[in-house]
């Protein structure tokens, strides 16, 4: 495309008004909403180019997930619902930060380097969360898409997983599902109801759930889901947009603070869940008779799924390679249970869903969950077809056919494109129902090691670099040696540090056999980070 034909992409309304550097990470761009208009405009341009490269629809989601309400962000979704290809993250970063005077030449460079045929049609599927800033940013993105003659399919306010679902359905001509929100709700709810009809082992299971919706888009989706699920499960929704988004509620708050959300009715031993602002994370919890808080996080969910799937595969006498993918944040209790008790392979990768997702693809059935509750299950097509064939094979026993049918139906409950809080809830409820378990039965399978996270403010987070799936610190020199010394003083002690992706803070994680030891260890390590990495402000301490 010639220079003059690109002149129309220069739009003074969306001039670059922020002098700082902004980085495209695993979650895309995420920062203060008031500095993002030019970024959304440019991501609209980039989405069109990405669509032309792939000759397929691309997704653009406007959200900042579990961040505070004044933040916002954007991420692009590739054709089969996966995160943006890693090589294009640097392209996105470069485009977002280029000066206005060089915008046209940057676009020309991308077109040339990626060998883009600008005559190919481009489609961008857009969704947004409930933040007040989202409509303004939506307009900026649409302006960028339309200036390069891209087709906009705006689905309005949707959860992030719904946007991923819509992208893959559009690009597979409906093979994965109907590319509408009605298709999303119908696919998952029908599969859930079908499974419950075929299994009556519900002695201790109660089909009721209390949901903390983080005052976000998940509240809208959960209410809509309830219409499709009818009476198969009753969901009582709290924090349903009457308060501040993610403020003292939501999956991230419950996981990190290890306390119940505000504005939430609690009864002893009742199953509760929290989702985050864009509904891609889920955390279970409950209070016991002594008002003690119990957390069942992403590790617990992964363990529950792995155990049940292994049982079904053994019933069918199929030897698919089943595996679990975790990060360094996974509790040592869960890793030990999965690998040593269930004897299911466990691998550890760097933090970020794209890393877990890619590793899970290597298994026939790959289960991945971050401890924060973000995860899903991936099935190879050969597995899906084998299960369908087994379910209809009259030469197999009744037990074999029933288990194959159950697992095949479960696949339709799962949103394989990305972690989906509502889909994951249905999956957990399916398994608890099949086993006839309440939440206490689930928790009894193993004991978590006491664990905690702290943030240490530093002048420059980039001074911290890591290796071994972020479990070992490379720089600053000497820090890891001191961390090792501190950890060695405590039974079952483990700790690691890693820089935040967006802020000048270092995240410190620790776990120990006892709570008192944990409190000492995490302060020991946080102080080491403060001293070695240029801590800012008061020395770290427990709240």
What residues are labeled active site? 65
In this structure, are strands 451-457 and 505-511 parallel, antiparallel, or unpaired?
antiparallel
CB 283 within 8 A of CB 269: no
Side by side, the strands of the sheet bearing 365-369 are 346-348, 322-326, 365-369, 375-379
Say how many C-beta atoms besides its own lie within 10 A of residue 182's C-beta.
Answer: 10
Q: How far is CA 219 from the centre of its chain?
A: 17
- Residues near 101 by beta carbon (within 8 Å), at least 6 away in sequence: none
- Please name the residue that has the structure tokens 């994680």: 509
Tokens of 159: 């959860």
Q: How many Å apart are CA 338 and CA 323, to the nearest integer?
A: 9
Tokens of 15: 């001039």
Q: Which helix (H) or strand (E) element contains residue 431? A: helix 421-435
Q: What angle do CA 185, 190, 192 make, to 5 degrees?
A: 100
User: Crossing angle for the helix pair 398-413 and 181-197, nearest 10 degrees?
Assistant: 150
Q: How many Å apart are CA 277 and CA 66, to the nearest integer?
A: 5
CB 268 within 8 A of CB 231: no
Tokens of 485: 């010394």
- Please name the residue that has the structure tokens 């009753």: 234
User: Crossing angle for the helix pair 37-54 and 86-97, nearest 10 degrees?
Assistant: 140
- Rounded to 5 degrees, φ, ψ at 227 are -65, -40
Residue 158: burial class (beta carbons within 10 Å; 0-12, 13-18, 19+): buried
Q: How many Å apart are CA 129 and CA 148, to the nearest integer?
A: 25
Read out DSSP for 484-543? HHHHTTSTT-EEEEEE-SSSSEEEEEEE-SSHHHHHHHHHHHHHHHHHHTTB-SSPP---
Question: Which neighbouring-strand residues pair with 496?
Answer: 509
Q: Which helix (H) or strand (E) element contains residue 116? A: none
Q: Which helix (H) or strand (E) element contains residue 25? A: none
CB 265 within 8 A of CB 146: no
Alpha-carbon dihedral 427, 407, 336, 298, rounded to 10 degrees: -20
- Look at the alpha carbons of 437, 441, 446, 451 in this order and tell me if their dihedral is positive or negative: positive
| Closest by CA position to 88, among listed 131, 45, 125 | 45
């Amino acid at each position: 495309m010639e220079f003059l034909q690109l002149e129309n992409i220069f739009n003074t309304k969306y001039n670059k008004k922020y002098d700082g550097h902004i980085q495209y990470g695993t979650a895309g761009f995420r920062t203060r909403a008031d500095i993002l208009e030019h970024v959304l405009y440019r991501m609209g341009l980039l989405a069109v180019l990405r669509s032309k490269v792939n000759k397929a629809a691309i997704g653009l989601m406007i959200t900042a997930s579990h961040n505070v309400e004044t933040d916002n962000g954007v991420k692009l979704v590739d054709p089969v619902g996966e995160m943006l290809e890693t090589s294009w993250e640097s392209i996105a970063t470069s485009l977002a930060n280029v000066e206005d005077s060089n915008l046209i030449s940057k676009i020309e460079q991308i077109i040339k380097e990626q060998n883009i045929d600008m005559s190919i049609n481009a489609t961008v599927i857009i969704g947004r969360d409930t933040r007040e800033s989202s409509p303004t940013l939506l307009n900026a993105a649409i302006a960028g898409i339309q200036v390069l003659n891209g087709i906009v399919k705006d689905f309005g306010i949707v959860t992030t997983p719904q946007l991923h679902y819509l992208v893959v359905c559009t690009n597979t001509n409906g093979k994965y599902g109907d590319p509408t929100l009605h298709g999303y709700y119908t696919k998952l709810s029908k599969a859930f109801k079908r499974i419950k009809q075929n299994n009556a082992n519900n002695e201790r299971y109660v089909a009721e759930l209390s949901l903390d919706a983080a005052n976000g888009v998940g509240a809208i989706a959960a209410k809509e889901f309830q219409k499709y699920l009818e009476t198969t499960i009753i969901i009582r929704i709290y924090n349903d947009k009457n308060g501040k988004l993610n403020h003292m509620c939501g999956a991230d708050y419950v996981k990190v603070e290890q306390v119940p959300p505000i504005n939430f009715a609690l009864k002893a031993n009742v199953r509760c869940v929290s989702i985050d602002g864009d509904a891609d994370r889920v955390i279970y919890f409950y209070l016991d008779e002594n008002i003690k808080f119990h957390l069942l996080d992403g590790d617990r969910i992964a363990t529950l799924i792995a155990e049940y799937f292994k049982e079904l595969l053994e019933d069918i006498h199929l030897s698919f390679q089943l595996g679990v993918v975790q990060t360094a944040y996974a509790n040592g209790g869960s890793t030990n249970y999965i690998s040593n008790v269930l004897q299911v392979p466990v691998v550890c990768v760097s933090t970020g869903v794209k890393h877990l997702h890619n590793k899970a693809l290597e298994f026939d059935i790959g289960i991945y969950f971050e401890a924060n509750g973000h995860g899903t299950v991936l099935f190879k097509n050969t597995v899906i077809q084998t299960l369908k064939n087994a379910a209809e094979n009259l030469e197999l026993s009744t037990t074999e056919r029933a288990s194959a049918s159950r697992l095949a139906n479960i696949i339709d409950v799962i949103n394989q494109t990305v972690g989906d809080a509502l889909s994951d809830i249905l999956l957990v409820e399916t398994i608890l129902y099949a086993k006839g378990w309440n939440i206490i039965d689930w928790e009894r399978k193993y004991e978590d090691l006491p664990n905690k996270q702290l943030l240490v403010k530093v002048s420059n987070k980039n001074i911290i670099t890591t290796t071994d799936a972020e479990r070992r610190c490379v720089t600053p020199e000497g820090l890891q040696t001191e961390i090792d010394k501190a950890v060695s003083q405590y039974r079952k002690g483990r700790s690691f540090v890693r820089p935040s992706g967006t802020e000048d803070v270092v995240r410190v994680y620790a776990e120990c056999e006892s709570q008192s030891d944990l409190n000492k260890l995490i302060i020991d390590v946080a102080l080491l980070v403060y001293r070695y990495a240029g801590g800012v402000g008061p020395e770290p301490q427990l709240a």
